[in-house]
Amino acid sequence: MKNRVFKYSLILWLGLVVCTHQACDDDLEKELAMRSFFKVHQGNEDDIYFLDEPIQFYNYSLHSTSYLWDFGDGSMPSTEKEPVHTFTNEGKFAVSLIVSNGVKEVGYTDSLTIVVNPD
């Protein structure tokens, strides 16, 4: 009888260990998942910028090795990690960042409004 209880307890314990290990792997995979995200300027909550002034893009992506920026204004894309771009036309532009780790790609898009500097 003791052997049976021990045997079933061991099987139950091993099952619990395997399930816990699988849950940890899932959590680790979620934690290491690639993310694509960027900001332009801390403190500019309206996302309004001036025509013909360089704008620094800050890349906050995770677990990526290559970058493709589309500024939405018809200019050449950039593959820099944190490019500086100057818009030469007024308007609202959808800026996109696609990041890759060589296996998977993830994208993020945000819009900027470019206006003439009132100076």
* Segment 50-84, tens digit of pLDDT: 899 999 999 998 889 999 999 999 999 999 999 99
| 3-class secondary-structure state, position 77 | coil
Query: Which among 16-20, 60-64, 96-100 has the top mean pLDDT?
Result: 96-100
Q: What is the predicted pLDDT for the residue at 42? A: 55
Q: What percent of the chain has pLDDT over 90?
A: 35
d(C-alpha 96, C-alpha 68), whole Å: 8
How far is Cα 96 from Cα 98, in angstroms, rounded to an integer?
7
The length of the chain, given as a count of residues: 119
pLDDT over threshold 80, residue 19: no
| pLDDT average, residue stretch 98-114 | 90
> Which tokens go with 9?
């307890």
Mean pLDDT across the stretch 29-43?
A: 66
pTM of the model: 0.69
Look over the chain and give the mean of its residue pLDDT values, rounded to a whole number.
78
